[in-house]
Amino acid sequence: MTANHIRELARRAGFELAGVAAATAAEDRTRYHEWVAAGRAGKMGYLTDRRAALRDDPRNLLAAACSVISVGKLYQTPWPHSTRFHDAERAWISRYAWGEDYHELMRRGLERLDGLLRESAGVPYESRICVDTAPLLERSYARLAGLGWIGRNTCLINQREGSWFFLGELLVSLPIPPDAPPPDRCGTCMRCVEACPTAALVPGQGLDATRCISYFTIELRGAIPQEHRAATGAHVFGCDICQDVCPWNGRAPVTADPAFAPRRFAPRLEELAAIGEEEFRAMFRGTPVVRARYSGFLRNVAVAMGNARQQKFRAPLEKLAESADPVVAEHARWALGRMVE
């Protein structure tokens, strides 16, 4: 069994990238724990609770693991990037959330890969599938498996194919000769750091989630810090700016997979402000957007309207300001205040 054979099986299972790393303690575990201790994970408890220690070693997830098979699935579609889209009446949703929820899609692909591997291995083995909900430092193992380097924007970057990839892992008890990590090719480039509206990328320290637009609009429950609301712009779910400006994504390929085609590309803010909770669930069912929850989504819509500063948004914002949810109401009042500045 070789890494090249694994790559061929992964291609047949629908993955564009694949490689193998040894299932040993992560090189980055100390840096990760320092990042957590510095408070840069914000209120994302799943990164800081008892599961933090599990991330140190894949054998905490599968005791018999010998190898980590890392895979990447391309999700970039031939639609504009956020840095090339300017329509003050519309909301921006992160590219990864335009189509089908990637968790199930990646799991199905990894199940296919596991099946193909069992057909060709010739011996029984133990395995475990991991997507990003598993406590595993997946970018670290993807780097060790040769899929790319971890860029200054903290994304895994492949030299030929950029960073628009979902990552997943198959832990196996098979000993497979590992791949080698590629060199870091960010060089002196600082485009992502300079482009981040909230200065969330700290050179030498990585991402400070407590300043990140994706954190504010997806993970944070409660109020978005006032000092960062204006910089959030039209983003109502996630942010892609640090990938949009990356030179390695300048010629990145696009996928024809219909699972990633946008169901509702850049929906109108007025429409989003008027939807009820059941409409929200129906509109975004089966996509990652539901993670923001209805109240969090309306909070984000209110901020985006305030940043657009269009008088046509005054009426929907006044209605949101009367919301029974105090967080939604407060953000709508803040947005109305932006109309008169």
Q: Which of 163, 141, 166, 145 is nearest to 154 (CA)?
A: 163
Give mean pLDDT, residues 309-331: 97
Give tens-digit pLDDT for 189-231: 999 999 999 999 999 889 999 999 999 999 999 999 999 999 9
Phi-psi region for residue 146, left (φ > 0), alpha (ψ -120 to 50) or beta?
Answer: left
53 vs 142, higher pLDDT: 142
The pLDDT score that the predictor gives to residue 27 is 87
Positive/negative CA dihedral, 275, 281, 283, 287:
positive
pLDDT of 295 > 70? The answer is yes
> What is the band of 86 on the pLDDT scale with cuts at 50, 70, 90?
confident
pLDDT of 340 > 80? The answer is no
Annotation says 132 is catalytic: yes
Q: Out of 132, 208, 244, 325, pick the active-site residue.
A: 132
Using CA atoms, how far apart are residues 16 and 12, in angstroms rounded to an integer?
9
Using CA atoms, how far apart are residues 197 and 234, in angstroms rounded to an integer?
12
The pLDDT score that the predictor gives to residue 201 is 98
Give mean pLDDT, residues 272-276: 97
**What is the three-state SS of the chain?**
CCHHHHHHHHHHCCCCEEEEEECCCCCCHHHHHHHHHCCCCCCCHHHHCCHHHHCCCHHHCCCCCCEEEEEEEECCCCCCCHHHCCCCCECEECHHHCCCCHHHHHHHHHHHHHHHHHHHHCCCCCEEEECCCCCCCHHHHHHHCCCCEECCCCCEEECCCECCEEEEEEEECCCCCCCCCCCCCCCCCCHHHHHCCCCCEECCCEECHHHCHHHHHHHCCCCCCHHHHHHHCCEEECCCHHHHCCHHHCCCCCCCCHHHCCCCCCCEHHHHHHCCHHHHHHHHCCCHHHHHCHHHHHHHHHHHHHHHCCHHHHHHHHHHCCCCCHHHHHHHHHHHHHCCC
Give mean pLDDT, residues 4-30: 96
Give tens-digit pLDDT for 100-120: 999 999 999 999 999 999 999
pLDDT of 134 > 70? The answer is yes
> What is the band of 98 on the pLDDT scale with cuts at 50, 70, 90?
very high
Give mean pLDDT, residues 16-23: 98
Give mean pLDDT, residues 120-148: 96
pLDDT of 176 > 70? The answer is yes
What's the gap between Cα 204 and its chain centre? Answer: 21
The pLDDT score that the predictor gives to residue 52 is 87
pLDDT of 341 > 70? The answer is no
Give mean pLDDT, residues 165-175: 98
Give mean pLDDT, residues 121-135: 94
Give mean pLDDT, residues 256-277: 94
pLDDT, the chain, mean? 96
